[in-house]
Structure formats: C-alpha cells, structure tokens
Amino acid sequence: MVSAGIERVLTLDLHAAQIQGFFDIPVDNLYASPIFALDVLHQFGGNVEDVMVISPDVGGVARARELAKRIGAPLAIVDKRREKAGEVAEMTVIGDVRGKKCIIVDDICDTAGTLCKAAEVLIENGATEVHSYITHGVLSGPAVERVTNSVMKSLVITDSIEPTAAVKAAPNIRIVPTAPIFAQAIMNIWNGTSVSSLFETDSLEPIYDGQFQR
C-alpha cells in the first residue's frame, strides 16, 4: 500500500489494535462504539435502566465495556469454550441477566453460529430481549437464515462490508451507515483538526442526526 503511494489510512474497528503499528504511515482507527451508543439510545428512547451489555467472550470485554460506559449500562459476559475450531462446546453466562434487555457487542460476525447460540443462552438465563451490535457483518453461508430464525430481536451492523440482498431483506437486521463518520474524519484530516474527537458520542450526534431507523 505504501509502495503504491498511499500516504494515510482510515480504518474502522481493527480486529487487533496492533495492526496500526504495522504501517510506517499515519493510520487512524475509528470506532463503531459511539455510533452504536447513539443507536441504542435512539431505539430505547434513552431509557436504559433494564439494558445490559454483553461480551460474547472474555476477549471482547474491553469492547463491550466501552459501549456499556457510553450508555450507562452494566456488563455481563458469555464465556464460551471450544473443543475444536468452529464448534462451541459450552456457554456460561457470567452475570445476572434476568429481566434484562441484553445487547451483545462484537467486531465481526461470520456464520452467526456463536452469536445465535449466545442469544439462546441469554434467553434461557432469563433475559427478556436480545439485540446484537456487530461492526463488520460478513454474514456468510447460513448466517442470514440463522439470524432470521433466532431469538434475537435485532442485529445491527454497519455497512463496512457491502450488505447482500439477503441481508437487506432480513426482517431483524438493520444497517447503520459509516459514511458520516468517515466523511467527517476525512474533513478533519484535511482541515488539520482532531480525528480523536470522533471517538465521542456527542461529536457524532449532529452528523448522525436522522440516520437511525426504528
């Protein structure tokens, strides 16, 4: 990329923050968390008293905690143990989700097997609703069918990956745009102003006004 003449890179929710260090040029990693926070507050009308944010594994706790802090909600974890790659052997909920509207947060969803299983486990443990917020919706293979038939009330993804016709047609999948945050980031870079200001929900609120659907 550098040899091709690229001088700066903008990314969204890198799977590993260390990737920024692979480059010898400036890399600005934007976050979906403030966008998701705005959407959650919009969907729940600002009433998050019975909302709980869920990390689908121990490794994603920092990401889930970030959203939980933004909306002022508690945090729980679904601990999963794999016997072999691609198979989830066991899931345990760490935290009390009884009577809660649970929001699962993760950076990527491929076949949605783990996500749908986590939603089932949360309902079995007393959750009243399960919603998921995933940055990068790969949604390959049987993913859309699984999500459509799952106990999840909604799956919210960004358009960082072009949604297929099946994804767009799914009744419980919603897509939030990334164009506003990238456009503002490009403008800030051009003007020499702060990109990190876009890490805050308050900064994104005016540029995402009217972008969320119910």
> Looking at the annotation, which residues are catalytic?
80
**Distance between start and end Cα atoms, the chain:** 39
Q: Are the C-beta atoms of residues 9 and 27 closer than 8 Å to each other?
A: yes
Containing H/E element for 175?
A: strand 173-176
Q: Are the C-beta atoms of residues 83 and 89 closer than 8 Å to each other?
A: yes
Question: DSSP string covering 84-146, please?
Answer: STT---EEEEES--TT-EEEEEEEEESS-HHHHHHHHHHHHTT-SEEEEEEEEE---TTHHHH
- R_g of the chain, CA atoms, integer Å: 18
| Token pair listed for 101 | 């509207």
Which of 121, 128, 115, 190 has the alpha carbon at shortest distance from 157? 115
| Token pair listed for 116 | 């749908």
Q: Name the packing angle between helices 33-43 and 61-71 (round to 10°).
A: 50
**Other beta carbons less than 10 A from residue 29's beta carbon:** 15
